[in-house]
Amino acid sequence: MEEFRQKLHRDLRPTTLWGYNRQFPGPTIDTDQGNQMHIKWINNLPDKHLLPVDKSIHHLAHQPEVRTVTHLHGSVTTPESDGYPEAWFTKDFKKVGPAFQQQVYHYPNKQRATTLWYHDHAMGITRLNVYAGLAGMYIIRGTQEREMNIPNDPYEIPLIIMDRTTNEDGSLYYPAQPNNPTTNTPNPSISPAFIGDKILVNGKIWPYFEVEPRKYRFRILNASNTRGYQLYLSSGAPLYQIGSDGGFLPNTVKANTINIEPAERVDVIVDFSKYKENSIILKNDLGPNADPDDETNEIMQFRVQLPLKQRDHTIIPTYLSTIPSLKQNKIKAVRNLKLIGLNDDYGRPLLLLDNKKWGDPITETPELGSTEIWSIINVTGFSHPIHIHLVQFQLLDRRAFDLAHYNKDGRIIYTDSPAPPQPNEKGWKDTISAPSAQITRVISKFAPYTGKYVWHCHILEHEDYDMMRPFKVIDPNNQ
Ligand code: C2O
Ligand code: CU
Ligand code: CU
């Protein structure tokens, strides 16, 4: 991890960034299932942070300003290699956090083939470290996709989407304080959300990509801090979604728009064969109330200008994979977990998981190998992408309730019957949208490791304050 400069756009001066191997985003790590890997994460960053650090949260005034710890999102790894937020370390490993002091991480890659991503996870500054550039893609490949006759290299491309705001001199802008600070608000202070005014794909602002008139596979990752996207193509052509967070879906889902929340991945096939000599824009639907001057309704452009090198024999399969339902398992525990919003001593929003802060005692202790249902009850006014480490889970359903009534007397009155998952949510997930005034139920089997992990909202401004909690997988026979 180093500081360096990189051009984000032709018309912009180089931007100072933090990145893995001096790249933004970091290098795409591409490996085969079962091929275990060791990575030594080396912090070679300056002592001073690139962005404003709020020292009023998580006792950060007493800690080194620049701390890093890398998490491989969606991976099945031991706690020591998972990037626990308190397993941070400073430059040259000189100072270390209170948990798991380890620099070489082990990745077994023994899970289902899929698109993962690695990013920083340091306590209280994750939003700043990731915004500075510490994120990259990580692909685990299986034998199945090689036999499937779907587009592959060089017609399989990662698309890492994120938003940033830049200053005139090309430097990154990140707010030092929320929009309406009072005299009480610390400076710097965390903001409850961050939305950038420019969209980047693979480190370039509003780029274009030249394609042949044929099928492509795009592994799309939303690596933004807060922003979700509603993807669609300006040509009106469909997106064929074949995969989600945890690999192939049961069946291909033909969609006109696809929602992607922070940290989610969608694997899609796009067919450009009918669009020779045309340009197609990958767009972001901002909804009916969008500001007409808001340019974030565009993501990138595909120019169908390259000659077709050879006939495209690839297909868009209908059937993709079998996903055994976890519902058949014995359910060891059902946990009701509320997403709630309060105000802190400075009058700032404080978002919590089940009314508990990071530092409160661990309350979620699933037994090794057991299956649990987590009912996420969102009583805040907006949706949160909830992520659980270690596992890939399944969405059971979502059920709407009357939030106004809940706010009056704390009772949950359902306003509808449970809604089943959308077709593109019928695969494995590690991050799930939990909308406001709904109960989102997920089912997961906690295995194969015991020990301390975390679950959190993946809006990084929420995760840092304070929508993150530890959980501990315990072995009931061996405590
Ligand atoms: Cu992608 Cu705990 O995070
Ligand atoms: Cu994760
Ligand atoms: Cu959130």
122 vs 128: CA distance, rounded Å: 9
Q: Is the CB of 387 under 6 A from ligand 1?
A: yes
What spacing in Å lies between the alpha carbon of 436 and ligand 3's midpoint?
10
Task: Choose among 256, 307, 302, 298: nearest CA to 279.
Answer: 302
Residue 300 CB contacts under 8 Å (≥ 6 apart), including other chains: 159, 199, 201, 206, 207, 208, 209, 281, 282
Atom of ligand 1 nearest to the CA of 389: 2
Quickly count helices (H) and strands (E) in the chain.
Answer: 4, 30
75 Cα–ligand 2 center, Å: 7
Q: Give the number of the ligand closest to the Cα of residue 263.
A: 1
CATH number of 156-304: 2.60.40.420
CB atoms within 10 A of CB 194: 22
**In this structure, which ligand is nearest to the CA of 118?**
1
Residue identified by tokens 């090794």 is: 368
Q: What is the CA radius of gyration of the chain?
A: 22
Q: Which residues pair with 157 in a beta bridge?
A: 218
Residue whose CA is closest, atom 3 of ligand 1? 73
**Any idea where the domains of the chain sit in the sequence?**
2-142, 156-304, 326-473
Angle at 378 between CA 56 and CA 355, to 5 degrees: 45
Tokens of 252: 């291909």
pLDDT at residue 477, rounded to an integer: 87
84 within 8 A of 7, measured Cβ to Cβ: no
Mean pLDDT by 10 residues, the chain (479 residues): 98 98 98 97 98 96 97 98 98 96 97 98 98 98 93 97 97 96 94 97 98 98 98 98 98 98 98 97 96 96 97 97 97 98 95 98 98 98 98 98 97 98 98 98 98 98 98 90
Give the CA count within 13 Å in the CB-facing half-sphere of 111: 29
Instruction: Output the pTM of the full model.
Output: 0.98
Measured from the Cβ of residue 283, the count of other Cβ atoms closer than 10 Å reads: 18
Separation between Cα atoms, residue 115 and residue 268, nearest integer Å: 12
Q: Which pairs with CB-CB distance under 8 Å and at least 24 residues apart come from 3-12?
A: 3/45, 3/46, 3/50, 6/203, 8/164, 8/166, 8/170, 8/200, 8/203, 8/204, 8/205, 9/204, 9/205, 9/206, 12/166, 12/170, 12/205
CA of 303 to the centre of ligand 3 (A): 36
- 467 exposed, middle or buried (CB, 10 Å; 0-12, 13-18, 19+)? buried
H or E segment and range at residue 70: strand 70-73
Q: φ, ψ for residue 132 (rounded to 5)?
A: -65, -20
- Is residue 263 in contact with ligand 1, taking CB distance under 6 Å? yes
Counting every residue written for the chain, the total comes to 479
Distance 47 CA to ligand 3 centre (A): 29
Atom of ligand 1 at shortest range from CA of 85: 2
Q: What is the 37 CA–ligand 2 centroid distance (Å)?
A: 18
User: Is the CB–ligand 1 distance for residue 456 below 6 Å?
Assistant: yes
CA of 114 to the centre of ligand 1 (A): 16
* Nearest Cα residue to atom 1 of ligand 1: 73
- 84 alpha carbon, closest ligand: 1
Asked whether the beta carbons of 60 and 52 are under 8 A apart, the reply is: no
Cβ of 479: how many Cβ atoms within 10 Å?
Answer: 6
Domain 326-473: give its CATH superfamily: Cupredoxins -  blue copper proteins (2.60.40.420)
Same fold, 2-142 and 326-473: yes
Ligand 1 atom with minimal separation from the 456 CA: 2
Rounded distance from Cα 413 to ligand 2 centre (Å): 33
Query: Does ligand 1 have an atom closer than 6 angstroms to the CB of 119?
Result: yes
Q: Which atom of ligand 1 is nearest to the CA of 263?
A: 1
Residue 389 Cβ inside 6 Å of ligand 1? The answer reads: yes
Nearest residue to 465 via CA among 335, 365, 341, 381: 341
CA of 390 relative to ligand 2 center, distance in Å = 7
73 Cβ inside 6 Å of ligand 1: yes
Q: What is the pLDDT of residue 478?
A: 81
- pLDDT of res. 479: 61
What pLDDT sits at residue 109? 98
The four Cα atoms 187, 192, 197, 199 give a dihedral, to 10 degrees, of: 120
Residues near 228 by beta carbon (within 8 Å), at least 6 away in sequence: 222, 259, 260, 261, 262, 385, 433
CB–CB of 440/332 below 8 Å? no
Give the right CATH number for 2-142 from 3.30.70.890, 3.40.50.2300, 3.50.50.60, 2.60.40.420.
2.60.40.420
